[in-house]
C-alpha cells in the first residue's frame, strides 16, 4: 500500500506537529533534516510528510493528493473546503479578535467603518452576523499597520498574547473565536484507508489528551 | 480593447482527441447499461427556472448557480443538478404513465465553483432514475444498475451504503432550533468530532444525544452493524438499520469487482434524500465518482407525490482517472489516404466510399500533388496511400 501522505503547515505549527508524530512513536529525522527535499519519509517510509503553506495543506487534502493534513482553524475558517475535520490537536492556540487603536469606540455611530484583515472572509462573516455594513480591505501581513497609517478604523487578526497589539498602541475591542491546530482528512482516503488512519488518529488522541 | 476570444472561461475546457474519445466511450458504456435495463433516455433543457433548484430543497447554494434572466425578467439558472429536472418533468408530464417510470440521461451540469481552485464548472453526469416505486426490489435494482454501470468502465471501486433517515430521525428528536440541527448535520458530514462533541456537551444528556455522538464514527465494513446494535431497541431506527443490513447482505451476494462499505454518518446536504443513500469511491481519486439515493418526498414538491430512487455517475472524473492510469482508448489514424490524380477526383471519392463500406477508416486527400499527399500520410501515421488515376496504385508508408 502507498504510504499515507500527510501535509503539515510550515512555520508556527511545524515544530508541534513533528513533536506530536515523535510522541506517537514515529521517527521524524528525515523531516527535521530536510535540506531541499520536499516529500519526506517518516517512520522508515510508513508515512510521507509534505511541508506546505497553510492554505495549500487544505488544497492538497481536498484533492486527495495528501490523505491527511495539519492546519490551523484560522485557515479552515478563511478558506473552507471539502474534508473531514477529525481532531482538535490542542496546540497553536490563539484567537481571532477585532482590534483597534486604544480608546476607539468602534461600534458607536452610524458612519461606515473600514476594517483591514489578512482573513477577509472571517472578518466578513463576523460583521454579517452583527448585521453591520463594513468595508473590508485585505492586507497580506503586518495588519497592525493599517489603522496606524489611517487605512482602517480597526483590524480583524489573530491574537496570541496581545503583545504585538500593545506595542502598536492597539487593543482588543472584541474577541471573535478561538483557534487551534486541526487534523483534516480527505473523505475518500478516510473511507478507503479507514484502519490505517484510525490507528494513527487514536494514538494521536491519546498523546493529545495526556 | 483586449478581446477574450483565445481561451475558454475558467472551469471549462475543450475535449480533444483521446479525451473526447474516452469521455464518449464511457458515456456509451454507462448509457448502454441503462438502456439494456429498460431505462429510457430523456434530455432536459440546459437552463431552467431558479425555483426548480430551490436551495432549501436541493442544498445547492444560490452562489454556486450560474444565473440569468429570461425574456420576462424571471431568474433562470444553468442546471446545477439533474435529479430535480427529472423530478419536475416526471411530476408534471409523466405522472400518469404506468409505474415505475424508468429514465436516464447523459448531460452536463453547471456550477459556479470558487475561482482558482481547478474545479470544473461544466461537468457531464450520466444517471438513471426509477420513479413511482419503493421497496427492496426497486432499491436493489438501482444499486445493482449502479454497480453494473461503474463495473463497465472502472476496474475496481468501493460502494458505500448509508441511510439518510437515521440521522433525520435522531436529529428531529433533539430539542434544538433548525439552525443548531443544521450545525450538527454539518459537523457529522465533515466528521468534525471535536465540534460535534462540544455542541452536544451543551445539551441535556439523553440517549438521542449519545447516539448522535456515535454516528460519525459508525463507518466501515459489516462490523458497523454490530457497533450500531445499541440503536436496535429503537422502534423508529431499528427497521431502518435492519433494512440497511438486509440490502448490504443482498448486494454482497452480487459479487462485483470492488468492496462494500457502510457509513451511518452519511448526512447529505440534499435534504431530499429520505432513505437509502449510496456512493462509490476509486483508489487514488479524492472524491466520490457516483452518488445516489432514495428521495421519496421530492416529487410532492413538484405536485405529484411518488417514491423515487436514482443516482448519477461523474463521467468526466472517470475519464480523468482512466487517462491518468493510461487505460484510455487511443485515437487511431486512418487506415488509408485516398488521393485522386488530376481528372480522377470523383473516382477517388468513389474508391474511398467503397473502402469505407468494407470497414476501413478512409481519408480523402485534399492535396494537389501525390508527393504532398504521401508526406501528409507519413506525418499522420497513415500507413497506406491509394493513388487513383487510370489504375489504382497503392503506396505503403512507414514512419
pLDDT number for residue B257: 60
Instruction: Count how many Cα atoms sit within 13 Å of the Cα of residue B310 in the half-sphere of its side chain.
Output: 31
Residues B232 and B352 in one domain: no
Read off the DSSP letter of residue B84: H
Q: Chain A interface, mutation test: which of B113, B192, B267, most A Cβ atoms within 10 Å?
A: B192
Write the pLDDT tens digit of every residue in B60-94: 889 999 999 999 999 999 999 999 999 999 999 99
Query: What residue ranges in chain B does DSSP mark as E strands?
Result: 40-41, 47-49, 67-69, 75-78, 101-110, 122-131, 157-163, 219-220, 258-263, 276-281, 290-294, 308-314, 336-340, 362-364, 384-388, 392-396
Does the pLDDT value for residue B115 go beyond 90?
no
Number of domains, chain B: 2
Q: Chain A interface, mutation test: which of B183, B190, B261, B283, most A Cβ atoms within 10 Å?
A: B190
pLDDT number for residue B78: 97
Q: Is the CB of residue A172 less than 8 Å away from at least one CB of chain B?
A: no
Lowest mean pLDDT among A30-44, B88-102, B173-187, B255-269: B255-269
The residue whose grid cell reads 438513471 is: B128
Distance from CA of A104 to the nearest CA of B (A): 34
Residue of B nearest to A198 (CA): B217
Q: CB–CB of A85 and B195 under 8 A?
A: yes
pLDDT number for residue A195: 87
Q: In A, residues 180-209, which contact B (CB 8 Å cutoff)?
A: 182, 185-192, 194
Residues B295 and B353 in one domain: no
- Please give the CATH number for the structural domain made up of A4-92+180-209: 3.40.190.10
Q: What is the band of B397 on the pLDDT scale with cuts at 50, 70, 90? A: confident
Average pLDDT over residues A198-205: 92
Is residue B8 in a domain? Answer: no
Nearest to A158 by CA among A133, A139, A183: A139
Q: CB–CB of B263 and A191 under 8 A?
A: yes
Omega cis (within 30) before B34:
no
Average pLDDT over residues B347-366: 95
Q: CB–CB of A84 and B219 under 8 A?
A: no
Give B-chain residues touching A190 at CB under 8 angstroms: 191
Distance from CA of B353 to the nearest CA of A (A): 49
pLDDT number for residue B399: 59
Q: Select the residue of B192, B195, B281 nearest A192 (Cβ to Cβ).
A: B281
For residue B307, the enclosing domain spans 17-324
Distance from CA of B349 to the nearest CA of A (A): 51
Residues B320 and B340 in one domain: no
Read off the DSSP letter of residue B333: P
SS3 B78: strand
pLDDT number for residue A19: 92
Residue of B nearest to A1 (CA): B283
Q: CB–CB of B281 and A191 under 8 A?
A: yes
Residues B293 and B361 in one domain: no
Nearest to A61 by CA among A118, A122, A8, A2: A8
pLDDT number for residue B269: 61
Q: Is the CB of residue A64 less than 8 Å away from at least one CB of chain B?
A: yes
Residues 6 or more apart in contact with residue B235 via CB below 8 angstroms: none
Q: Grid coordinates representing B38?
A: 429498460
Give A-chain residues touching B287 at CB under 8 angstroms: 64, 82, 187-188
Q: Chain B interface, mutation test: which of A188, A196, A199, most B Cβ atoms within 10 Å?
A: A188
Give A-chain residues touching B118 at CB under 8 angstroms: 63
Q: Select the residue of B158, B194, B263 nearest A192 (Cβ to Cβ).
A: B158
Q: Select the residue of B118, B190, B285 nearest A188 (Cβ to Cβ).
A: B285
- Whole-number Å distance between alpha carbons of A178 and A157: 12
CATH (domain of B354):
3.40.50.800
Q: CB–CB of B191 and A185 under 8 A?
A: yes
Q: Is the CB of residue A176 less than 8 Å away from at least one CB of chain B?
A: no
Residue of A nearest to B188 (CA): A84
Write the pLDDT tens digit of every residue in B213-253: 988 889 888 889 999 988 888 889 999 999 999 999 999 88
Q: What CATH number does domain A94-178 carry, 3.30.390.50, 3.40.190.10, 3.40.50.360, 3.40.50.620?
A: 3.40.190.10
Residues B165 and B64 in one domain: yes
Residues B214 and B245 in one domain: yes
Instruction: Tell me the average pLDDT of chain A.
Output: 92
Give B-chain residues touching A185 at CB under 8 angstroms: 191
Residues B95 and B197 in one domain: yes
Q: What is the band of B182 on the pLDDT scale with cuts at 50, 70, 90? A: confident
Is residue B71 in a domain? Answer: yes
Residues B163 and B293 in one domain: yes
Q: CB–CB of B286 and A187 under 8 A?
A: yes
Q: What is the band of A152 on the pLDDT scale with cuts at 50, 70, 90? A: very high
Residue of B nearest to A201 (CA): B193
Write the pLDDT tens digit of every residue in B285-335: 888 899 999 999 999 999 999 999 999 999 999 999 999 888 888 889 999
Is residue B329 in a domain? Answer: no
Average pLDDT over residues A37-60: 91
Distance from CA of A108 to the nearest CA of B (A): 30
Q: Count how many pairs of residues, chain A against chain B, have C-beta atoms within 8 Å.
A: 51
Q: Grid coordinates representing A94?
A: 490563539
pLDDT number for residue B270: 58
Residues B112 and B236 in one domain: yes
Q: Select the residue of B160, B193, B282 nearest A87 (Cβ to Cβ).
A: B193
Q: What is the band of B355 on the pLDDT scale with cuts at 50, 70, 90? A: very high
Query: B277, B296, B324: which is the final residue of a domain?
Result: B324
Residues B28 and B169 in one domain: yes
Residues 6 or more apart in contact with residue B261 via CB below 8 angstroms: A191, B158, B159, B160, B161, B219, B220, B221
Query: B324, B351, B385: which is the final residue of a domain?
Result: B324
Residues B279 and B367 in one domain: no
Query: B260, B293, B324: which is the final residue of a domain?
Result: B324
Same fold, A4-92+180-209 and A94-178: yes
Q: Domain segments of chain A: what residues?
A: 4-92+180-209, 94-178
Its ipTM equals 0.72
Does the pLDDT value for residue A33 go beyond 70?
yes
Three-state SS across B236-264?
CHHHHHHHHHHHHHHHHHHCCCEEEEEEC
Amino acid at each position: 500500500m502507498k504510504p499515507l501522505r500527510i501535509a503539515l503547515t510550515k512555520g508556527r505549527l511545524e515544530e508541534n506537529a513533528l513533536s506530536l508524530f515523535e510522541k506517537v512513536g514515529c521517527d521524524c529525522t528525515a523531516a527535521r533534516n530536510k535540506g531541499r527535499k520536499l516529500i519526506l519519509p517518516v517512520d522508515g517510509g510508513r508515512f510521507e510528510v509534505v511541508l506546505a503553506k497553510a492554505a495549500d495543506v487544505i488544497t492538497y487534502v481536498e484533492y486527495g493528493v495528501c490523505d491527511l493534513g495539519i492546519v490551523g482553524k484560522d485557515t479552515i475558517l478563511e478558506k473552507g473546503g471539502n474534508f473531514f475535520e477529525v481532531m482538535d490537536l490542542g496546540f497553536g492556540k490563539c484567537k481571532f479578535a477585532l482590534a483597534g487603536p486604544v480608546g476607539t469606540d468602534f461600534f458607536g455611530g452610524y458612519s461606515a467603518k473600514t476594517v483591514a484583515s489578512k482573513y477577509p472572509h472571517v472578518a466578513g462573516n463576523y460583521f454579517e452576523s452583527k448585521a453591520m455594513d463594513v468595508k473590508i480591505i485585505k492586507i497580506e501581513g503586518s495588519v497592525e499597520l493599517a489603522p496606524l497609517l489611517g487605512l482602517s478604523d480597526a483590524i480583524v487578526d489573530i491574537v496570541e498574547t496581545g503583545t504585538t497589539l500593545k506595542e502598536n498602541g492597539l487593543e482588543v475591542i472584541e474577541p471573535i473565536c478561538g483557534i487551534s491546530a486541526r487534523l483534516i482528512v480527505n473523505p475518500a482516503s478516510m473511507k478507503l484507508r479507514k484502519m490505517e488512519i484510525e490507528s494513527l488518529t487514536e494514538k494521536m488522541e491519546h498523546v493529545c489528551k495526556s | 480593447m483586449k478581446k477574450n476570444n483565445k481561451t475558454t472561461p475558467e472551469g471549462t475546457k475543450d475535449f480533444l482527441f483521446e479525451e473526447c474519445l474516452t469521455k464518449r466511450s464511457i458515456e456509451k458504456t454507462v448509457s448502454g447499461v441503462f438502456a439494456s435495463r429498460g431505462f429510457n433516455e430523456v434530455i432536459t433543457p440546459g437552463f431552467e427556472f431558479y425555483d426548480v433548484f430551490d436551495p432549501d430543497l436541493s442544498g445547492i447554494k444560490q452562489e454556486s448557480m450560474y444565473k440569468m434572466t429570461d425574456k420576462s425578467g424571471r431568474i433562470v439558472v444553468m442546471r446545477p443538478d439533474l435529479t430535480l429536472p427529472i423530478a419536475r418533468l416526471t411530476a408534471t408530464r409523466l405522472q400518469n404513465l404506468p409505474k415505475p417510470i424508468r429514465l436516464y440521461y447523459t448531460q452536463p451540469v453547471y456550477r459556479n465553483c470558487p475561482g482558482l481552485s481547478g474545479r470544473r464548472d461544466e461537468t457531464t453526469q450520466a444517471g438513471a432514475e426509477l420513479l413511482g416505486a419503493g421497496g427492496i426490489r426497486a432499491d436493489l435494482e438501482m444499486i445493482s444498475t449502479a454497480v453494473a454501470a461503474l463495473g463497465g468502465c472502472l476496474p475496481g471501486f468501493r460502494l458505500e451504503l448509508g441511510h439518510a433517515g437515521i440521522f433525520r430521525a435522531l436529529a428531529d428528536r433533539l430539542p434544538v432550533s433548525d439552525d443548531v440541527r443544521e450545525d450538527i448535520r454539518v459537523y457529522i458530514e465533515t466528521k468534525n468530532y471535536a465540534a460535534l462533541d462540544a455542541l452536544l456537551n451543551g445539551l441535556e444528556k439523553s440517549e438521542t444525544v449519545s447516539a448522535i455522538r456515535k454516528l460519525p464514527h459508525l463507518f466501515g465494513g459489516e462490523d458497523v452493524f454490530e457497533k450500531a446494535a445499541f440503536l436496535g431497541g429503537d422502534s423508529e431506527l431499528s427497521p431502518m438499520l435492519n433494512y440497511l443490513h438486509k440490502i448490504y447482505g443482498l448486494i454482497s451476494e452480487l459479487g462485483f469487482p470492488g468492496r462494500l462499505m457502510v457509513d451511518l454518518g452519511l448526512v447529505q446536504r440534499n435534504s431530499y434524500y429520505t432513505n437509502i443513500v449510496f456512493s462509490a469511491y476509486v483508489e487514488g481519486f479524492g472524491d466520490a465518482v457516483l452518488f445516489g439515493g432514495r428521495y421519496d418526498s421530492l416529487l410532492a414538491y413538484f405536485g405529484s407525490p411518488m417514491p423515487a430512487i436514482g443516482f448519477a455517475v461523474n463521467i468526466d472524473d472517470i475519464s480523468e482517472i482512466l487517462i491518468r492510469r493510461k487505460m484510455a482508448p487511443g485515437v487511431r489514424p486512418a487506415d488509408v489516404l485516398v488521393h485522386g490524380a488530376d481528372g480522377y477526383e470523383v473516382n477517388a471519392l468513389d474508391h474511398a466510399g467503397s473502402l469505407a463500406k468494407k470497414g476501413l477508416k478512409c481519408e480523402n486527400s485534399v492535396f494537389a500533388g501525390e508527393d504532398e499527399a504521401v508526406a501528409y500520410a507519413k506525418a499522420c501515421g497513415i500507413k497506406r496511400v491509394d493513388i487513383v488515376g487510370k489504375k489504382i496504385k497503392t503506396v505503403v508508408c512507414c514512419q
